[in-house]
Amino acid sequence: MGGHIPAFKDLPLKPEYPPHAAWGVWGEKDELGTVNNITSETIIAASQEIKLGLSIPLNWAMDQPK
């Protein structure tokens, strides 16, 4: 990970970037962005939050399921 995460008010990091773009926070060549925050520790912590064991597909159209 790139270390320090800037505050939203401090974005963009470079004047040539679009307003509020977080480009470059994890390095110039990074393509994952905040996915860099997912670690073994965060996965384990998230697993402790499971109550029912249900999964919900997030790629359905808004009118599904019918």
The answer to whether residue 2 scores a pLDDT higher than 60 is no
Task: Give the C-alpha separation, 57 to 62, whole Å.
Answer: 11
**Reported confidence tier of residue 64, pLDDT bands at 50, 70, 90:** confident
**Reported confidence tier of residue 3, pLDDT bands at 50, 70, 90:** low
Which amino acid, residue 23?
W
Residues 18-58: pLDDT tens digits? 999 999 999 989 999 889 989 999 999 999 999 999 988 88
Nearest by Cα to 22 from 40, 10, 36: 10
